Every structure is written in C-alpha cells, then in structure tokens.
C-alpha cells in the first residue's frame, strides 16, 4: 500500500493476550469508541495492546466490525428479528464461552452496535419467563464468584489505564503536530500511520 | 449458542445495564425474585424513571404492567404457578399474562401494602397515583401515605379514604403532600379546617364540611365536583358572582349537589333549564356533559352553560 486516499484504508496492528498481532482496518476500528477516544487523531506507535482478550475473541469482534463498516451509523438497539442472515450466523456459530468473551471485549472496546445486539440476545433468553424459569437459565454467583468478578473489573480498569498511558505516550511524540492546522494534522497523521503500517508489513 | 446456565450477574455492569433495559417491569420483578443480588441490580435498568401507581380496585402498576392482589379463594388454587415474596411475606402467585402478575393473600389489604412497599423498593421510582376505590383500614392507608411522603413531596393523583381516618391524619397528609392533578376525598372532616386546595381537579364525595371559604380557596381549580354539599342559596349566589367576575379563571367544569339549595333558586335570575340540547367537552381527559344549560358569559366574555336542577339540587357550569 502506498499513500492511501482515505483513512479507511489505514490498517492498525492489534495485539492480543497471546502476544500475537493482526491488522484491522481503520474503518472497522473506528466503530470502537474506546479506540476513537484514545488513538483516532494521534495514531498508535506500535501495536495497540488489547491484551486482556485472546486473539480468537478479538478477531471475532473485528470480523463483526469489518462486516458492518458500510452500515448506517448506529442509532439505538435493533430488534433481533431485524438482523440479517449474516448477523444471525455470526451469533449462532459462537459457543457460550466465546459469546461471553465477545460481549466483554465489545463492552471494553465500546462497540455500541455489537454490544447492544449481544445484550438483546441475552435478554431474549430470559424475556417472558417467570422466576422459576429464569433461575434455570441463569447461574446465580456465589460470594467467591462475586469477589472474583470485582477483581476482574479492577484488572480491566488497570488495562484501560495502560492503554490510555500508551495513547498519551504516543501523543507526546506527536506534540509538534498540534501546532498544525487541523486538515494538515489529519493528513500528516494518516501519512505517519501508513508509513507505520508499511513498516509492520515489511517486518 | 448452547443452553447451559448463563452467568448473567457475572457480566460487566454496563453490559448488565444494557441487558436489563430490554426487560419490562414484570420481567424485572421476576428477575428480582431470583436472589438478593438480582434484587439489587434492578435499578441499573433505569427503573428510577418508571412510575408506580396504586390504581382503582387495589391494583398496583408500574409503567402499564400490573400487580394485582386478591383474597385467597378455592378458585385461585387452580391457576397457581408458584410463589413470590413481597417484603417478608411469601404468597401464592402466578403470571396472569405478560402484563400482569397476580398474588393471593389471606387479607387483600395487607397484600396491597406489602406489594406496594416491595415494588417501591425494587424499582425505586416515583409514586404517581394513589387511588383507592375500596375503603381500607386507616393503619394500612396511613402507612402507605407515610411511605409516599418519605420519598416525595408531591403526587399527581390521591384519594383520601380510609376506615378510621381522623382529622389529624388528613391534616398530616395535606401538610406533607402536595396533590398536583387530581384529589378525591371520601373523608369527611368533623371539624372543618383550612385546606390547600391547589389541585387541578377536585372530587369530594361527602362535602358537607366544605364551607364557602373552602370553595373560594379552590380558585385555581379546573374541575370542582362536590357531592352532599351543605352550601346554601346565598353561598351559591356569592360563588356565581365570583366566578362571573373572573375569580375562578381556570374553572372549566363545576358540579355541586346540595340539598340546602332552595327549589326557587335561580342562577343570575335566569330560567333554570332551557331547550333540550346537551353540550359535552373533554376536560382533563374526561368527558363532561351539561344538559339543558342556560347561556351565560363571564364578565371577560368567556361563554359557558349553567344549569340548575331544582329536583336534584344540582348546579353545573361548563365553560365552552
């Protein structure tokens, strides 16, 4: 890839918990509000570490994002009955563990459309049921599990902080760009990211 | 996805909130019954924005979903699908439909209180209506009122009616709770006292204690209905003159039934009944009708129909 015409052609490297990296298009990644808040305007110096999630989960999440790149902007929850065949297959082929991993990753990356669809899918498992029927569907956590959940959420917060620090570090390296006009800044960032992507591709 | 039990409560808080937002109040209630932890997460659904109502016939509703309370009966045994716990009481209950959960109690009034207290805890939301069409014991009525006043200083719609209520109880209610839209009173004060009648609509079923001073203080009301009144010709004439001069600018409909108005009374010296036409108008969501009314204009030109029925002792005004 030489000089890209639009930022959608920019690729970013994502790092998973196994330390593996894979690339994701800028257009797909921009569906993540977490990414937008941290990297969109400043770029990433090296792979973006989403190291709380394994490669399979992240690839599944970004598979969804790549697929919905051309869909209209997200405007609130969509009923499952309105999902396309592709969407339904996407959800149906996941086992429960993968589904939960995808929800957690989607929640962390703040991908509204995917998170909302996942949540409605969970709600569907319980809707219209009485208490006894609900108890059969959900596993009620023990005190130990609740404690463990709290620790996981603390760990996630620490991971988010780490990602933010990484973004801040990158921002420092681009401090001179801030003095440029916005349009020039965007183009400069794009060029820089493209160079970065090409250098990753050549490695 | 397979059908293994799902760790719903292990989801991140934001995800859990999104999931709960897909549930209706009955489903949220059913979930709250699963465990203490499940109970505690219901406000995540945004239930604080819901509204809780006590409706006619001792039915409680949350955003159009009903929680009925009934006395135990042999009939109730046929449809039971389990039990539910309200406060400390576990009783027979079943889902009558996706919009209604019904519970059965040895004493329906005790059930009403328990369900109301419980739902106010589950949903933690404002109480919009407290309507009563059954006379319930004062102790239960006042404990419901105490709960409401501990949570809010205003209510849209309130019925004051309890078996054994005292003047002190009722004064306490008026001191602590402003009724904004509709006040209905089945209570009769033994010693009349000033009341802040600043509600849009007032129905008083036994208004024998209502004086001319009370009526004057209703000058912001849109609808006034007084039954079993003791107001006299002189009171009514004074009221009509006040109304005509614009002292009741919001009044759209008035109904006063008094056996103390003489048969010879006439409003503004006009004939009591004319023609055979009826006029209807929807005011505050309810259709009001006046039959054979006489045309009268307020001093500011506002037209109205006024009717006095000497047989029934009923005075009506419908502003057109």
The per-residue pLDDT for range A46-93, each reduced to its tens digit, is: 788 888 899 999 999 999 999 988 776 666 655 656 677 888 889 888
How far apart CA A69 and CA A84 sit, in angstroms, is 14
- Out of A91, A124, A138, the one facing B8 most closely (by C-beta) is A138
Portion 58-97 of B in contact with A at CB < 8 A: 81-82, 84, 94-95
Q: How many domains does chain A have?
A: 1
B2 contact residues in A (CB cutoff 8 A): 95-96
**H or E stretch covering A26:** helix A26-29
B2: pLDDT confidence band, cut at 50, 70 and 90? low
Per-residue model confidence (pLDDT) at position A43: 61
| A156-160 mean pLDDT | 79
- pLDDT beyond 50 at A1: no
Is B19 touching A (CB cutoff 8 A)?
yes
Give the whole-number percent of chain A exceeding pLDDT 90: 22
Helix (H) or strand (E) holding A154: helix A143-173
Q: Among B37, B84, B98, whose Cβ lies nearest the Cβ of A128?
A: B98
Which residue among A107, A116, A125 sits closest to B6, beta carbon to beta carbon? A125
Provide, as residue numbers in chain A, all residues whose Cβ is less than 8 Å from the Cβ of B82: 130-132
pLDDT for A139 = 77
Residue A101 CA to residue B252 CA, distance in Å, equals 62
- A130 at the B interface (CB within 8 A)? yes
Spatial CA neighbour of B172 closest among B150, B145, B144, B192? B145
Average pLDDT of the segment spanning B51-59: 88
Residue where the block lists tokens 């009708």: B289
Q: Does residue A167 lie in a domain region?
A: yes
Closest CA to B129 of B193, B28, B61, B49: B61
- Chain B: give the shortest CA distance to residue A41, in Å: 26
CB B309 within 8 A of CB B246: no
Assigned domain for A97 exists: yes
- A119–B18: do the CB atoms touch at under 8 Å? yes
As a whole number of angstroms, the distance between CA A126 and CA B32 comes to 12
The pairing of beta strand B303-309 with beta strand B294-297: antiparallel
* pLDDT computed for residue B32 by the predictor: 93
Of residues A96, A122, A145, nearest to B4 (C-beta): A96
Q: How far is CA A183 from CA A6, B160, B185, in A?
A: 13, 68, 69
- What pLDDT was estimated at residue A80? 59
In angstroms, the separation between the Cα of residue A140 and the nearest Cα of chain B is 7
Cα torsion A172, A174, A177, A178: sign:
negative
Nearest to residue A88, comparing CAs of A112, A59, A117, A111?
A: A117
- Is the pLDDT confidence value at B147 over 90? yes
Q: Which residues pair with A21 in a beta bridge?
A: A15
Query: How far B37 CA sits from the closest chain A CA (Å)?
Result: 9
B30 reaches A (C-beta below 8 A): yes
Mean pLDDT confidence for B91-113: 90
The answer to whether residues B319 and B254 touch, using CB atoms and an 8 Å cutoff, is no
Cβ proximity of B137 and B168 under 8 Å: no
Residues of chain B in contact with residue A103, where contact means CB-CB under 8 angstroms, are 11, 15
Are the C-beta atoms of B44 and B16 separated by less than 8 Å?
A: yes
Please state, in angstroms and rounded to a whole number, the distance separating the CA atoms of residues B211 and B194.
Answer: 10
Tokens of A106: 């989607």
The β-bridge partners of B59 are B55, B68
Coil, helix or strand at residue A60: helix
At A194, which helix (H) or strand (E)?
helix A182-202
Contacts of residues B144-147 at CB distance under 8 Å and 24 or more positions apart, as own/partner, are B144/B54, B144/B112, B144/B113, B144/B116, B145/B173, B145/B177, B147/B116, B147/B117, B147/B120
Mean pLDDT of chain A: 75
Contact: A115, B15; criterion CB under 8 Å: yes
CA dihedral for B254, B258, B260, B261, sign (positive or negative): positive
Q: Residues A169, A174, A177, CA angle at the centre, nearest 5°?
A: 155
Q: Which two tokens stand for residue B141?
A: 């009525």
Flag whether A40 is in a domain.
Answer: yes
CA A100/CA A106 separation, integer angstroms: 10
What does A76-141 look like in DSSP terms, one character per residue? Answer: S---GGG--HHHHHHHHT--HHHHHHHHHHHHHHT-HHHHHHHHHHHHHHHTT--HHHHHHHBPPP
Give the distance from residue A92's alpha carbon to the nearest chain B alpha carbon, in angstroms.
6
Decide if the complex's ipTM is over 0.95.
no
* Residue A120 within a domain: yes
Stretch A97-119: mean pLDDT, rounded?
92
What range does the domain containing A72 cover?
A: 7-202
CB count in 10 Å sphere of residue B162: 23
- Output phi, psi for B245, to 5 deg: -80, 0
Please check the confidence at residue B288 and state whether its pLDDT lies above 90: yes
Q: Looking at beta carbons, which residues of chain B come within 8 Å of A125?
A: 6
Question: Mean pLDDT, to the nearest integer, of A29-52?
Answer: 80
- Higher per-residue pLDDT: A134 or A169: A134
Q: Which residues of B touch A121 (CB under 8 A)?
A: 1
Instruction: Report the length, in residues, of chain B.
Output: 320
A190 pLDDT higher than 50 = no
A16-30, A64-78, B147-161: segment of lowest average pLDDT: A64-78
Interface test with B, best of A81, A103, A109, A130 (most B CBs within 10 A): A130
Q: What is the pLDDT of residues B219-275, one digit of tens each?
A: 999 999 999 999 999 999 999 999 999 999 999 999 999 999 998 888 887 776 677
Q: Using 50, 70 and 90 to split pLDDT, how confident is the model at A197?
A: very low
In a domain? residue A60? yes
Which chain A residues touch B12 with a CB distance below 8 Å?
A: 104, 107, 153, 156
Contact, B278 vs B289, CB < 8 A? yes
Query: Measured between CB atoms, does B147 come within 8 Å of chain A?
Result: no
| Within a domain: A1 | no
Q: Give me the mean pLDDT over the A176-193 stretch.
A: 45
Query: Which chain B residues are within 8 Å of A130, Cβ to Cβ?
Result: 30, 81-82, 94-95
Residues 6+ apart with CB under 8 A from A33: A109, A110, A111, A112
CB-CB neighbors (< 8 A) of B1 in chain A:
91-92, 94-96, 99, 121
Instruction: Inspect the interface and report whether the beta carbons of B22 and A149 lie closer than 8 Å.
Output: no
Name the least confident of A162-176, B57-71, B296-310: A162-176
Contact residues on chain A for B28, CB-CB shorter than 8 A? none
| pLDDT tens digits along B57-99 | 878 999 999 999 988 876 656 555 688 999 989 998 888 888 9
Give the pLDDT of residue A56: 94
Nearest to B25 by CA among B130, B90, B147, B118: B118
Report the DSSP pairing between strands B154-160 and B162-163: unpaired
CATH number of the domain bearing residue A147: 3.30.710.10
Over range B15-21, report the average pLDDT: 92
Interchain contact A125–B (C-beta under 8 A): yes
Closest CA of chain A from B128, distance in Å: 26
For residue A140, list chain B residues with Cβ-Cβ distance below 8 A. Answer: 9, 34-35, 37-38
Instruction: Tell which of B5, B10, B44, B65 to mutate to test the A interface (max A CBs under 10 Å).
Output: B10
Over pLDDT 90: what percentage of chain B? Answer: 67
- What span, in angstroms and rounded, lies between the C-alpha atoms of B195 and B216? 11
Nearest CB neighbour to B23, from listed A123, A130, A140: A123
Alpha-carbon distance A179 to A181, whole Å?
7
Polymer length in residues for chain A: 203
Place of tokens 């006024």: B306
Specify whether the CB–CB gap between B234 and B211 falls below 8 A.
no
């Amino acid at each position: 890839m030489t000089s890209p015409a639009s930022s959608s052609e920019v690729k970013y490297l994502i790092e998973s918990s196994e330390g593996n990296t894979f690339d994701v298009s800028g257009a797909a990644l921009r569906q993540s509000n977490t990414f937008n808040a941290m990297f969109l305007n400043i770029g990433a110096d090296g792979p973006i570490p989403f190291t709380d999630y394994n490669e399979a989960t992240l690839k599944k999440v970004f598979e969804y994002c790549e697929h919905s790149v051309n869909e209209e902007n997200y405007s609130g929850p969509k009923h499952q009955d309105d999902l396309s065949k592709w969407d339904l297959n996407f959800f149906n082929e996941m086992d429960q563990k993968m589904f939960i991993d995808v929800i957690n990753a989607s929640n962390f990356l703040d991908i509204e459309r995917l998170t909302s669809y996942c949540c409605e899918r969970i709600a569907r498992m319980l809707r219209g049921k009485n208490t006894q029927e609900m108890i059969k569907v959900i596993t009620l956590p023990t005190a130990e599990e609740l404690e463990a959940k709290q620790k996981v959420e603390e760990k996630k917060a620490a991971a988010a902080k780490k990602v933010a620090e990484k973004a801040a570090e990158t921002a420092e390296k681009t401090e001179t760009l801030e003095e440029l006009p916005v349009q020039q800044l965007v183009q400069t960032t794009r060029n820089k990211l493209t160079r970065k992507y090409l250098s990753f591709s050549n490695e | 996805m397979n059908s293994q039990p799902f760790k719903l409560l292990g989801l991140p808080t934001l995800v859990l909130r999104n999931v709960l937002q897909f549930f209706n109040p009955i489903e949220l209630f059913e979930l709250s019954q699963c465990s203490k932890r499940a109970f505690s997460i219901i406000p995540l659904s945004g239930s604080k924005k819901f509204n809780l109502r006590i409706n006619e016939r001792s039915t409680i509703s949350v955003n159009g979903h009903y929680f009925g309370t009934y006395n135990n009966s042999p009939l109730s045994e046929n449809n039971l699908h389990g039990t539910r716990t309200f406060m400390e009481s576990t009783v027979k209950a079943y889902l009558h439909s996706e919009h209604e959960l019904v519970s059965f109690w040895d004493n329906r009034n005790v059930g009403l209180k328990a369900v109301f207290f419980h739902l106010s805890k589950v949903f933690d939301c404002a109480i919009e209506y407290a309507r009563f069409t059954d006379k319930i014991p004062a102790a239960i009525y006042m404990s419901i009122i105490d709960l409401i006043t501990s949570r809010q200083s205003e209510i849209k719609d309130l019925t004051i009616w309890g078996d054994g209520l005292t003047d002190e109880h009722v004064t306490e209610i008026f001191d602590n709770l402003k009724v904004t839209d509709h006040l209905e009173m089945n209570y009769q004060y033994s010693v009349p006292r000033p009341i802040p009648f600043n509600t849009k609509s007032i129905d008083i079923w036994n208004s024998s204690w209502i004086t001319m001073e009370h009526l004057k203080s209703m000058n912001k009301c849109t609808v006034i209905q007084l039954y079993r009144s003791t107001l006299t010709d002189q009171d009514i004439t004074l009221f009509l003159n006040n109304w005509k001069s614009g002292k009741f600018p919001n009044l759209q409909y008035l109904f006063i039934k008094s056996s103390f108005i003489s048969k010879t009374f006439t409003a503004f010296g006009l004939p009591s009944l004319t023609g055979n036409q009826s006029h209807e108008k929807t005011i505050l969501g309810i259709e009001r009708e006046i039959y054979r009314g006489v045309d009268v204009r307020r001093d500011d030109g506002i037209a109205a129909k006024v009717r006095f029925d000497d047989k029934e002792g009923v005075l009506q005004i419908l502003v057109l």
